[in-house]
Amino acid sequence: MNSGREVGLLVLAALLTGCGTSPPRSPENLCEIFREKSDWYDAAQVTQKRWGVPIQVPFAIMYQESGYRYDAKTPRKYLLWVIPWGRVSTASGYAQAKDEVWSDYQKSTGRYSADREDFDDAIDFVGWYMDKTTSINGVYKYDAYNQYLNYHEGWGGFRQKTYASKAWLMPVARKVQNRSDMYGQQYAACKDDLNRGFWSRFWHWL
């Protein structure tokens, strides 16, 4: 990617906000997601450039984690089965990021105003997490299966193979891999058309 295109991506990302919106109408098709929500595509390209991640993997992870719902939260806990008593975990937003990991992301990137309910911030968080997974545990960025196991269990948990005691988790990680593969095939078929739309939006905003 040339420097002009990099500048274009960053400028457009700054101009277009990714605040919480309703889930896409066709979540099974990445091309349709991007056609409906062009700002999500712009944010995805910025994340790809910044963290070197394939676009389809963060989307497969977020689909599994939140179904693209900006206000997704974990189930409530109840005291004596009837009194609401907090939630199962602090995970929230598109990426279902927990408080402590989100704080690490903010400190690491200097993005202290980042919001888990903002799509641009959420996908950047997933890209950051995937990049750290590669650095810490050597997982290939296209390997959605093991990237998801790291995402779910944490880097230390992955090294300790905590997922091995959770029979339900490996099939979920396989679903993430399958969705990533499907999204990747879809994206390859519509990428050129989407990029033409990107530059049309960029010049419009200048």
Identify the weakest region by mean pLDDT among 15-19, 131-135, 154-158, 193-197. Answer: 15-19
Only one residue has tokens 């450039």, namely 49
- Residue 195 or residue 76, greater confidence: 195
**58 within 8 A of 86, measured Cβ to Cβ:** no
Phi, psi of 186, rounded to the nearest 5 degrees: -65, -45
From 201, 188, 198, 193, select the one nearest 56 (Cα to Cα).
188
- Residue 84 or residue 72, greater confidence: 72
Which amino acid, one-letter code, is at 162? T
Which amino acid, one-letter code, is at 160? Q
pTM of the model: 0.81
**Residue 82 has what pLDDT?**
45
| 155 half-sphere exposure, CB direction, 13 A CA radius | 12
Q: Does the pLDDT at position 53 exceed 90?
A: yes
Average pLDDT over the chain, rounded to whole? 85
In this prediction, residues 96-107 reach a mean pLDDT of: 96
Taken in order 20, 25, 28, 33, the sign of the CA dihedral is negative
The CA distance from 161 to 21, in Å, is 36
The CA distance from 93 to 101, in Å, is 13
